Structure 1
């Protein structure tokens, strides 16, 4: 099926095919009340939902709009994983985006599969065929893991992909196999490069995972922008100022006004030029080189704008795996020694706790979830999920 016949510019109003068995009329997901956009669930008025139950709910949402069982499971697993690790901005918080993408035909499910268009023993180029990002991401990372087992190092790139959740979800797949995993993706242009006055690059996250001993591991999962878009949105709703270096106004000047920053754009990691924002700009460019440009997908200003569904996203993504077994023995022991040394480092007088290695905050959130028997969600998030369930005519997530 040609892409042009799939994509329909119907973001605000869309009728579902009756073959889906859901008579949703012309109501758009834009009518669902705003979700909680903070990076962490609130401590007050939290509701606990079991991991399996949240997975069921997310899966049912995707099935309701016509996704296959396999694709729905992969999407649900990715989003639940984000919430479980404490990355609430990329879990339930983003569910409606995936639902709407499929509803309006901007993303497909079941029509095609990812295909390998070029391949060697240690590399591959994949066309994601506009499938859900997690479907493409899982396909590519598993391929990279397989190649690294045989060749030591592998690199797989994909074009024709979509938003794939947290980048760390894919790096951790390699870590679980005892290998180093690296994943990157470009995104919609939301970042104003140093000295520019317009958004040209995305938040372009980088994730690197490396195994220590047992289940311990280093997991860096970071955007190359100074702050997430959701943090600006939250500050705007609360009428709060934002730190200088988070956002720029429409002229490219740093601003403390979130409303002006939302009209302008995010700033690179490091903020203004004086505080080394050009380094974050350089990292974002690095991601573009290894994703959109290397894969043959969209890149920079040519990636579709955030939540615009009149054209394909065509995101570029990169998956690299390094097998320590092809290098000097003792990698995991050395990795563990360094992490332990850092955690035991002398702390500054005003430190709020011990030094944390990348991945430690997520482990703390996972431990909290295990302790309370599920994932904590704010009431705003629960209300959002319940409204989405009502719209899609599925069972609401059950609260413990």
Structure 2
């Protein structure tokens, strides 16, 4: 069995030779505070002095208890703009823990976890070894934090060695989070075989998969184009009465759209809507693109019928624009105008110039100039024409020698600042 000292020593020696894959940024960062602004101005040598003064100020104002973690958001906020200062904040906290001989694991766990934000393996190892030097035995949570850090940097070998060490210790046995970290990492790395293998290892260890487990599997397999495998796990998830989250629904639609499985899309949409779920803008975009590519205006209309009630405004607008554009592409003016009026009466507007230009081109192809005038009047108060749209109108009026309309549109261009 690998020993912890050897694993960490080898990991440290190999650190400078590896190219790290940085983890995604955290969902939020600390807002600017006077202390943060001061740290940004300070030299590196003044960072710890500023932190000491802040801690003393809080202690004097009896705020030490409620603001005990004031340093955490600072470390997060500084990680990208001033990584050296972010490490100094962590270093200051570690020195405080060692000086005060803090023996609880939680503060050390926080430090190691924060190291993942900047892939700072070296400092995480320093925290780990300092903790052990204090006589604190690492538990499962500590090992998980370190293991997750190595996975986030792409160092699978060291992560596997840590797992082996955990498996050999009663006080730090791998738990569900340990297995989940491996599934997530291999999903992110695009390693389908390892991802699925760790899924089965999770079940063999006695842990039940969760929604997040299936998210890693289904999204990872979908990105790799392994749609049948993704479908298999989706059906398995439903069979054990686990409901999909938004990421899983998006991946499912993405897989169906990439296969251009129109029948599968239709059935899946019924499944989604019947359970009271809604399509978000990303899903509507994928479906619109599929139907646009295939020219399936009837399917787009059916989609509108499925989602009309309770659907968010942005999704409805995107689909209405898609329907109008499909009719425009096939020069079905009556249906196109009905789709436009339905959209406008519903309080929606065109979302992009390409949709408006498709309608204009249809009018020009059919030489329906009076109907084009009416269309432009309808949208005048709700949509500002872009330069490309004005250019299209100018070119069309010139082509068909409609000089009176040409003069008016050029005048409008000047007023709009496109002279």
Q: What range is the shorter-chain TM-score in?
A: under 0.3
TM-score (norm 1): 0.23
More strand by share: 1
Q: Which structure's relative contact order is higher, taking Cα pairs within 8 Å and 6+ residues apart?
A: 1
Larger radius of gyration: 2
TM-score by structure 2 length?
0.22
Higher helix proportion: 2
